[in-house]
Amino acid sequence: MTILVLQIVILCLVAAAIVLWALYFPYPSPLIRRWLPPRKRWPETQIRAWLKRGEFQRAFLRHFYSDPERIAPPGNSMLAPADGLVTSAQVQGGVRYLVIALSFWDMHVQRSPVSGRVLAVESHGDGFMDGEGREFAFLREKSCPVQKRLVIGTDAGHVAVRLITSLAARRIETWVREGEEIKRGQRIGRILLGSTVVLELPAAVNLLVHTGDRVWAGETAVAEGATCP
């Protein structure tokens, strides 16, 4: 009798696992999520469905809002301000615009590429789109971006970090103020949904990354050549 009960219990557990699988299909069952990398754990179609409903899985939100420690590499190189994929590195008007696209699965806290003093924290609505910025491919796809631009002054000149999100998301936090001294790799803000981070560098710097490279905020050296204290 004991063996029969044990067999039934085991069969019920297997059956429950299959029912869970069927309920969640095509998305992964909660039983196997922990073994999947983030991109497979929460497929894009599932996240887009959550965006429409305005409801998210708690585990996904925990991952989305995660803020792991980062160790800046030694030296004076400029660091990536965000996790993501380098999608463009165009030069225009003496400024190199290094565009980093963040995905849903990337960490969304931004870090300072250099040490220096925060000279300005500017907010932009869709104004940038109406001006010369319209020429840039990285902005062309975004109908109405909302932006914060942090200008950091160093001995070698100015560097700016532009945090961009969509009008729908419209949520950017900046954690530094004008006049504040910040360190290389220090947290400077967070985009709460989306999107894109653009690092504005002097055109003369030697770029260490290329389009298609993956970078990590505060850890990947993206440029060198200017003296960053």
- Catalytic residue numbers, as ranges: 195
Q: Collapsing DSSP states into helix, strand and coil, what is residue 11?
A: helix
Closer of 31 and 168 to other proteins (Cβ): 31
- Which of residues 4, 94, 141, 212 is near other proteins by CB under 8 A? 4
Number of residues that bind other proteins (CB under 8 A): 18
Closer of 3 and 71 to other proteins (Cβ): 3
CB of 46 to other proteins, least distance (A): 13
Is residue 108 within 8 A of residue 102, CB to CB? The reply is: yes
- Which of residues 9, 23, 30, 31 is near other proteins by CB under 8 A? 31
Closer of 40 and 171 to other proteins (Cβ): 40
Stretch that binds other proteins, among 13-21, 63-71, 161-169, 174-182 (CB under 8 A): 13-21
CB of 37 to other proteins, least distance (A): 8
Closer of 32 and 47 to other proteins (Cβ): 32
The pair of structure tokens assigned to 9 is 């219990």
Report, in angstroms and rounded to the nearest whole number, the Rg of the chain calculated over CA atoms.
Answer: 22
**Residue type, position 227, single letter:** T
Placement of tokens 């030697």 in the chain: 206
Placement of tokens 């590499």 in the chain: 73
CB of 127 to other proteins, least distance (A): 43
The pair of structure tokens assigned to 163 is 């945090």
Is residue 163 within 8 A of residue 191, CB to CB? The reply is: yes
Placement of tokens 């009008």 in the chain: 167
CB neighbourhood size of 66 (10 A): 11
Placement of tokens 């055109």 in the chain: 203
18 lines the binding site for other proteins (CB under 8 A): yes
28 lines the binding site for other proteins (CB under 8 A): yes
What strands lie across the sheet with 78-79, from one edge to the other?
Answer: 78-79, 221-224, 206-207
**Residue type, position 119, single letter:** L
The pair of structure tokens assigned to 216 is 């990590």
23 lines the binding site for other proteins (CB under 8 A): no
Closer of 45 and 206 to other proteins (Cβ): 45
CB of 156 to other proteins, least distance (A): 44
Q: Collapsing DSSP states into helix, strand and coil, what is residue 41?
A: helix
What is the binding site for other proteins (CB under 8 A)? 1, 3-4, 7, 10-11, 14-15, 17-18, 21, 28-29, 31-32, 35-36, 40
